[in-house]
Structure 1
Amino acid sequence: MKMKQQIIIFICCLQGVWCQNWPINLPDKIEALSGSCVTINCTFTIENKYDKDLTDSAAGVWYKTDTKDDNNIVFRSGSSNLPFKGNITGKLKDKDCTTIFYDATSNHKGRFFFRIEDGLKWTYTHKSVFIDVIDSPPKPTVQMFKDQMEVEVQEEVLEGSSMYLRCSAKTLCSSSPPTLTWSSTDRLHLNESSRLQLDQQNQTEIISDLNFTATHLQHGVTFICTITYQLQQRNTTAQNNITLRVQYAPKNTSVSVFPSNSVLEGSSVTLICSSDANPAVLIWYRENGGQLEELQTGCNLTLNVTDRTHTGRYYCQARNRHGTQNTSVWLDIQYAPKISLFSCNRTDITVCLCEAHGNPSPKVEWFLSGRPVSNSTNTSISEERLNSTDLRSFISLHQSLTHTDTLQCVTINTHSTASEKIQLYPCSHETNIHIIIFLIIITLILILYALTVGFGLYRIKQLSSKLKVHNDAGAYASLQLSAPVSEYETLNLKKDNTQ
């Protein structure tokens, strides 16, 4: 009998070589999930003249590997003593050889050929199918669509775009259909819909669409699609994902300051700007004379050594082609107090002012000869706030002072203390009278002295005038009583004078 079958197979093969290869439709490759079933979609043809030899009693046979020996027959319809359990679900009389194998294992992996046996016996040697047994299902395919047009996964979409994500997978044979589920890294509420359909290869495909409108909340969110097969012994899954990138105008722009926005002069301070935007460009400005002065770009603005000129309002602007948003912070550079002016005016009362500046704004305290001074019947103190950092304090003293009294102005803030002293001298009403009397006496003495000197000069002038009149009269009398001197006597007199 075996010899007879071999001869028939040989004759059929010769017929295929000499005549033609009857077509058979098989997939090139099938993936089967371990522990599940595997379905081979199969149709075949024969010459019309052999249709009468194809009856309801026809059997379908599957060979494994390229050798067509009986020992490699793994399945025959109607037989239960072969390695593979299954069933031909198609109707062989209608040339449908679709077959299902149950409980796939690694033994099912290999290449398979189909043979029809009835009054007609024929092995389709020119076409085979390869079965691959896998432990977990293939990853589903994830695609992104914007306004019904597919876009690349890396492409960024604009906020407000109508979007949907599609997850699809070819179904493997299983007792129950697989399921597709969506999840996201931010646990967003997802509106999904799933369906089964046939693809272009007439294979069953499961599809799930996720519909939404793109918002900034979805930027950077990863959407995960999971396919799940429920097997008899276990569930098995596979996943694929896509990360959405959304472009949108700046939102929630804010500034923080480290260590704080009030720092001591000479220390370092860093201003940090953050904004929810894609893309984001951050620009720092400073208010200067009512105008905004651009400083730099970037998240952080660091002032390594601060001084009081750095006090002011700083702006961070977040901008992109979709919009702009600004925020600001006041930077307060604090410093120890200093006294810029300390002076006194003494009349009937002593009035002094002390002007101090510092940040925080300082307070001023007064001390008279080391003792604190406050408002009283003899003392009045008032203050004038010039601005947020400058203070002017006045003190009026209505009391007698000694030569040893000192007035001290002390200015204080949270960072330090500064002080200055002034020596006070008596300046009472009696002292003023004594000075006036003294000045009057001095004036009288000077007037008396001037009168005395003037009278003396007058007397001297009178005596000089009388002496001159007297001398002139004596000389005239002498000229009248004396004889004229001869020339000879005159010459002798000159000679004597010469000697």
Structure 2
Amino acid sequence: MMDCTAIAPEMSVFSLMFFLLLPVQVHMQTNPIFHAELPHSITALSGSCVQIPCTFDAPAIKLQYTEIIFGCWIKNHHAFLNPDSLVVLNGSTNIIKGFSHIEILGNLSQYECTSVFYDVMNNHTDDYYFRVEMNPVDWKYTYVKNPIYISVSDVPELPILTPTDLQEVKEETTVNLSCSAEAPCPKQPPTISWSNISESAHIKAQLQEKPDKTQSVFSYVTFKASYKDHKKNITCTATYPRNTPDASTVKSTVILRVLFSPKETHITIDPSDSVSAGTNVTLTCKSKASPNEMNYTWYKRGQKKELDFGEQLTFNVNRRSGGWYFCSAKNIHGMQISEGILLIVAESSSLIIGCVGGILAFLFILLLVTIFLRVQRVKASINRETDISDQGQEKHMHINSIFDNSAFATSEELEMPKDENEIHYGQIDFSNPQTKSVTVKASEQETIYAEVSGSGKD
């Protein structure tokens, strides 16, 4: 049977310990832990700024009755008065240490504490703690459980290009790519450019907030895949402005693989010079395709059946080998037939050359005959013109002779140039119907004209 008195002291000790610990529990309940929402870490670019997204919680009753609220940032150690800590921003005194400028963008009365550190340098890499001070309620709190680690680098992070490994896309299908670049300083965001994309590509860029409240620039590109894009290195380049002489650029690349039917199918011939009968000739069918496993078929104009199969066609040339040759290339996505290539056998070409030479000789002879006939016609024309000229000269001389030996009577006797012989003209009178004789006296000869009579009546 148990002794109750024996346990009484034990009960007293337990009760004493309970009451001793009770004030500690009450004290812990009166000092709750508050939290700030910050990214665990952020990478900043030297010579630029860094924006720290920040929100916090605090006693609502304290915030309700406060008149002034200040924000502070502490580096390295959370203790406000610890010698190892450095208060880089003291909002109550507006003192900034170690930075050219620090700005709190958030509305502290709305539990927002987003801040921007300007002109960050490599020696700024460290842990940072946020602290709130309220007056006149005199409430101060450092969020020791939620530091942010700021890492400062001279080289920005590489942009993220997705999909990182493009699956094979079929020709004429739509390709969608996105490229994102961290924007630790949204006031100076990076710019994104693309290379080796189609000229018809559509590009859209925007600044977006990520789940941890940091920001990135996203660029989206859309275009239709062409066979010319196959195996292209599509590059996304992010350029960061800095307060330094040179901007920083970083790139990411992805290889585009396009599936397409044969393209640019054509034939090459070896030897490429004229081919004579009795020699071997090789025709090769070339084409671009993806996948490049292709079946080749050879044809000749005028023949219904295929000549052969395979990438190359080799044969010994004879007189009947001349003509037009074609090939087709086929893969799982389609087929294409090449343009024809003309094979001319040397003997046939000699015959053509002989015919052409004969025609040229005939034309040359015809030209000589034409020139000869034209010369003859010109000579005959010249002779005719000469005869006409001579006849005209004779007529002219004859007319001159007539005029030289003729004269006309108008009223009185007309004088003519004197010569050795003198000619006398008589006067004829028609008023009298009587007949008169007219005698013209010459030097040694006498000329008698016939009598002229006029009756004066009809």
When the two structures are superposed, what TM-score results if normalisation uses the length of structure 2?
0.59
CA distance in 2, matches of 1:362, 1:213: 53
Structure-to-structure mapping, 1:115-134, within 5 angstroms: 115-118=131-134, 119-134=138-153
Letter of the aligned partner of 1:326 in structure 2? I
Paired residue type of 1:163 = V
Identify if the C-alpha distance between structure 1 residues 31 and 265 changes in structure 2 by more than 3 Å, giving closer, same or farther.
Answer: same
Which residue pairs with 2:108 in the alignment? 92
Structure 2 partner of 1:213? 224
CA distance in 1, matches of 2:189, 2:127: 26
- Cα RMSD, aligned residues only: 3.6
Structure 1 contact 174–231 (Cα < 8 Å) conserved: no
In the alignment, structure 2 segments of 5+ residues that lack a partner are 1-25, 355-458
Answering whether residue 122 of structure 2 is matched by residue 106 of structure 1, we say yes
Higher strand content, 1 or 2? 1
**Higher relative contact order at CA 8 Å, sep ≥6: structure 1 or structure 2?**
2
Listed as ranges, the matches of 1:153-302 within 5 Å are 153-173=165-185, 175-184=187-196, 188-233=199-244, 234-260=246-272, 262-264=274-276, 269-280=281-292, 281-285=294-298, 290-296=304-310, 298=311, 301=312
Among 84, 88, 100, the alignment partner of 1:75 is 88
* 2:150 maps to amino acid: I
1:38 is aligned to: 50
Distance 1:59 1:127, change over 3 A: closer
Alpha-carbon contact 2:235-2:253 (below 8 Å) kept: yes
Alpha-carbon distance in structure 1 between the residues aligned to 2:27 and 2:108: 21
- Aligned to 1:87, what secondary structure does the other structure show? strand
- 1:89 partner amino acid: L
Q: CA distance change for structure 1 residues 17 and 31 in 2, over 3 Å: closer, same or farther?
A: farther
After superposition, the Cα gap between the structure-2 partners of 1:282 and 1:307, relative to the gap in structure 1 and judged at 3 Å, is same
User: How many pairs are equivalent?
Assistant: 316
Q: Are residues 302 and 289 of structure 1, via their aligned partners in 2, closer, same or farther at CA, if it must alter by over 3 Å?
A: closer
1:350 is matched with which residue? Answer: none
Structure 2 Cα separation of the partners of residues 168 and 66 of structure 1:
34
Q: Is 2:53–2:213's contact at 8 Å kept on the other side of the alignment? A: no
Task: Verify the 8 A CA contact 1:286 1:295 in the aligned structure 2.
Answer: no
Q: 1:192 to 1:330 in 2, by over 3 A?
A: same
For 1:36 and 1:210, how far apart are their aligned partners in 2? 28
CA apart distance, 1:311: 3.4
Distance 1:114 1:67, change over 3 A: same
1:290 Cα shift?
Answer: 4.1
Measure the CA separation in 2 of the matches of 1:289 and 1:182: 51
Distance in structure 2 (CA, Å) of the matches to 1:191 and 1:98: 35
Shift in CA distance, 223/16, structure 1 to aligned 2, threshold 3 Å: farther
1:141 aligns with 2:154: no
Shift of 1:228: 2.0
- Measured after TM superposition, the shift of residue 157 of structure 1 is 1.6
**AA paired with 1:83?**
G
Partner Cα separation in structure 1 for residue 68 and residue 125 of structure 2:
30
Match of 1:29 in 2: 41
* TM-score, normalising length: structure 1: 0.55
Deviations 1:210-264 (A, max 9, x none): 2322223333333322222222323222222333322222232111113316434
SS of 2:251's partner is: strand
Counterpart residue number, 1:63: 75
Residues 175 and 289 of structure 1: CA distance in aligned 2, closer, same or farther (over 3 Å): closer
Decide whether aligned partners of structure 1 residues 97 and 306 sit closer, same or farther in structure 2, where only a CA change above 3 A counts.
same
